[in-house]
Amino acid sequence: MSAIERKAIEAAQGGEAPVPEHIAIIMDGNGRWAAARGLPRVEGHRRGVEAVRRAVRAAGELGVKYLTLYSFSSENWSRPKSEILDLMNLLRRFVREDLAELHKSNVCVRIIGEREGLEPDIRALIDECENLTRGNTALTLVVAFNYGARQEIAAAVRRIARDVAEGRVAAEDITPDMIGQGLDTSGIPDPDLVIRTSGEQRLSNFLLWQAAYSEFVFLPMHWPDFTREALETALAEFRGRERRFGGLEAARR
């Protein structure tokens, strides 16, 4: 029985409304939010950073242990150079202005995604975030930056293939757990709940392996409008789901 299943059953037996241990969010709609108001796209991204602050605060207050945010995909590099520059500058500003507060709030920051090829100062910021907050225990904020799930899975498989070729692992001994341990999220429980804003209903190369048994909630609002109330709406829908994990009986009623 997985940790997710066990937690759901314990919550059901105790009669309490379960809080997901791990919530992942695809933060979508910054550009459309700005366009609807006649504003430049960068203003949508700025307002999106404010929504990030609200989401982190609300998740911590509600008792969520892991919050994963899809901040920048490996496909986003195809966007106009000016927009990428704006996004990188917002990242720099976020770290300068928010890292100390996150650390003070006992938040552990973990970055997943490919780091090779990033600007040296961006890699230094990533290292600073992780090193400063490594020992914090209240909420783990996982930031998916330059992240793509297919690339992540391919990298894990390549590592296993090298182990097989060098005789350290037999092909018949490869298990799903072995692949999971090779992913960027090794040591992090799979998300109970995946939320996507803006009304789009797809994963967009986000946590493809980890979301195998996640519940999905798609919210019609754009990300800059995300609030604690929106998070609580998603949680209410999550609590109404019956999670069977492939079995006949619901793990939670």
Residues designated as active site: 28, 76
Distance CA 89, CA 73 (A): 16
Length reported for the chain: 253
How many degrees, rounded to 5, is the angle at CA 175 between CA 206 and CA 10?
70
204 contacts 144 by C-beta, under 8 angstroms? no
What is the distance of C-alpha 241 from the center of its chain? 21
The token pair that represents 159 in the structure block: 């590592």
Tokens for 184?
Answer: 């960027």
CA distance 206 to 86: 23
| Rounded-to-integer distance, Cα 192 and Cα 170, Å | 32
Ramachandran angles phi, psi of 194, nearest 5°: -115, 125
